[in-house]
């Protein structure tokens, strides 16, 4: 019979040390020094390292970011480290520090629970792995979310009351600096603002001014070069007149805190004489009138762009974009230029994005003359009578008149022949005459080609 003897362990089983990390977040809107980032990091670093049963796994900290989880880089890095097995326990001050959205809170805690990771909330004294942990988190998370909404509404109320009184929140725009009590003009920046306005009234485009400022070595508020977009924004900025249009934007959701442009959803307030003037109101109004004029003229407002009577009037039936004009020469030194009109989308992105037919300019003039009941095309009549021409399919021009009339004009391309110069036509005719398979009639081939 076998004898089995138990051998007792000579060393006691030591508990496995837990890898512990902390998550801290400070919102700039609160500005409380007690909850400052450095204070939280210092507190948790010391607290974790003092416990001999814990292994310090670091402190993850987001500063000045809203409570939503999807845009917090450190929070996301912490979750990734949890997935890699680098963390067993997460310490955090409160539910509101971890997440203000109850759904985000529960989804994150449940996911971490599946990974076997515990989250401890210091203020609420809740352990996510305890029996009543999720119930308490649901209740307290809802309270935290409602508290966040209430605080947000109170802040909005205070700001709007300030707007009604003409009180301007501090702003950061080129040309001004806030000294804590009032706005002051930065002289050298003010000169740049005046140059931008002066250039615009002289007829220069934002692109021209962008290039000029770059050549002058002038930098924007952020230290980079001025873009044509930022120049256009400066031309629309009413604050340079010393007045302020308030509540141009607003925050719709207190959780996401995404800013939306106020397009009439909320009232706006126009406060006068809120700060020093850089651009006189009269000049500002002239610029706005010019902006509106150029918007109405479209491409014709830019004198650097060569335009014809067809510019911005030939439209693609597929994508709705305007057609562009391009010229081709049969030979490098040929004088005659053959013009065709091509859909802008097709020209820029290729036929995979849009595949309408190109239209030779000669064909446009020929068939538009027919639609206008003219013996030959007249630019002035076309400009006055025709609103737009839509190129549809392979052989249709839909002509829209200003009086509401619409005419569909069938057309047939002879682009292969039309693009030939007189020299090319003559050379080919001579070749055909000398070819034993030619018909002997030098005009017949050209006629046949046109009928193809």
- Residue 450: what pLDDT? 47
Distance CA 25, CA 58 (A): 14
Numbered ranges of CATH 3.40.50.1390 in the chain? 18-148
For the segment 212-239, what is each residue's pLDDT rounded down to a tens digit?
999 999 998 888 888 888 898 899 888 8
Confidence of residue 108 (pLDDT cuts 50, 70, 90): confident
pLDDT of 264 strictly over 50 = yes
- CATH number listed for the domain at residues 176-299: 3.90.1750.20
For the segment 276-320, what is each residue's pLDDT rounded down to a tens digit?
999 999 999 999 998 887 776 554 445 555 668 888 889 999 998
Specify the 3-state DSSP secondary structure of 308: coil
Pick from 194, 196, 222: nearest CA to 207: 196
Q: Is 404 left (phi over 0), alpha (psi -120 to 50) or beta?
A: left
Instruction: Give percent above pLDDT 70 in the chain.
Output: 69
pLDDT of 391 strictly over 80 = yes
Lowest mean pLDDT among 30-39, 231-240, 384-393, 441-450: 441-450
- Residue 221: what pLDDT? 80
283 phi, psi to nearest 5 deg:
-65, -40
How far CA 141 is from CA of 72, 97, 144, 253, 423, in Å, comes to 19, 11, 5, 17, 84
pLDDT of 422 strictly over 80 = no
Numbered ranges of CATH 3.90.1750.20 in the chain? 176-299
How far CA 55 is from CA of 87, 93, 113, 312, in Å, comes to 9, 19, 20, 69
pLDDT of 141 strictly over 60 = no
- Residue 275: what pLDDT? 87
Per the model's pLDDT, the better-predicted residue between 153 and 258 turns out to be: 258
- CATH number listed for the domain at residues 18-148: 3.40.50.1390
Q: Name the token pair of 352.
A: 């995979």
- Residue 300: what pLDDT? 47
Average pLDDT over residues 385-394: 90
Residue in the structure block whose two tokens are 């209430």 = 150
Confidence of residue 326 (pLDDT cuts 50, 70, 90): confident
Question: Average pLDDT of the chain?
Answer: 78
Per the model's pLDDT, the better-predicted residue between 338 and 316 turns out to be: 316
Write the DSSP assignment of 73-100 as a string of letters: HHHHHHHHHHHTT--SEEEES-HHHH-S
Lowest mean pLDDT among 180-189, 256-265, 354-363, 378-387: 256-265
Confidence of residue 190 (pLDDT cuts 50, 70, 90): very high
Element (H, E) at 340: strand 338-343
């Amino acid at each position: 019979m076998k004898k089995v003897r138990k051998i007792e362990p000579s060393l006691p089983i030591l508990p496995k040390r837990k890898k512990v990390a902390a998550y801290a977040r400070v919102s700039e809107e609160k500005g409380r020094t007690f909850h400052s980032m450095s204070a939280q990091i210092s507190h948790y670093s010391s607290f974790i390292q003092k416990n001999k049963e814990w292994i310090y796994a670091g402190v993850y900290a987001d500063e000045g970011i809203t409570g939503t989880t999807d845009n917090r880089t450190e929070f996301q890095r912490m979750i990734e480290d949890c997935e890699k097995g680098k963390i067993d326990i997460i310490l955090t001050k409160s539910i509101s520090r971890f997440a203000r959205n109850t759904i985000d809170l529960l989804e994150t805690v449940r996911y971490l629970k599946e990974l076997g990771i515990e989250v401890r909330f210091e203020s609420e004294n809740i352990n996510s792995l305890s029996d009543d942990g999720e119930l308490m988190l649901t209740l307290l998370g809802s309270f935290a979310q409602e508290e966040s909404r209430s605080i947000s509404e109170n802040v909005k109320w205070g700001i709007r009351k300030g707007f009604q009184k003409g009180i301007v929140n501090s702003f950061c725009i080129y040309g001004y600096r806030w000294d804590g009590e009032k706005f002051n003009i930065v002289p050298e920046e003010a000169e740049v603002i005046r140059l931008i306005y002066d250039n615009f009234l002289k007829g220069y485009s934002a692109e021209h001014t962008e290039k000029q400022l770059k050549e002058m070595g002038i930098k924007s508020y952020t230290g980079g070069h001025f873009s044509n977009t930022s120049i256009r924004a400066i031309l629309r900025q009413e604050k340079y007149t010393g007045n302020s249009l308030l509540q141009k934007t607003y925050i719709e959701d207190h959780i996401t805190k995404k800013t939306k442009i106020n397009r009439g959803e909320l009232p706006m307030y126009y406060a006068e004489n809120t700060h020093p003037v850089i651009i006189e109101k009269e000049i500002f109004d002239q610029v706005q009138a010019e902006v509106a004029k150029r918007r109405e003229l479209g491409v014709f407002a830019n004198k650097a762009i060569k335009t014809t009577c067809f510019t911005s009037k030939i439209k693609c039936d597929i994508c709705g974009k305007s057609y562009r004009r391009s010229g081709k020469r049969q030979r490098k030194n040929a004088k005659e230029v053959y013009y065709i009109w091509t859909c802008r989308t097709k020209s820029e992105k290729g036929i995979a994005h849009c595949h309408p037919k190109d239209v030779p300019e000669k064909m446009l003039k020929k068939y538009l003359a027919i639609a206008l009941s003219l013996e030959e095309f007249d630019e002035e009549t076309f400009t006055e009578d025709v609103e737009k021409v839509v190129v549809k399919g392979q052989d249709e021009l839909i002509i829209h008149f200003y009086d509401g009339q619409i005419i569909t004009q069938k057309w047939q391309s002879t682009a292969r022949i039309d693009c030939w110069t007189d020299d090319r036509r003559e050379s080919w005719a001579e070749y055909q005459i000398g070819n034993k398979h030619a018909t002997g009639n030098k005009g017949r081939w050209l006629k046949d080609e046109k009928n193809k």
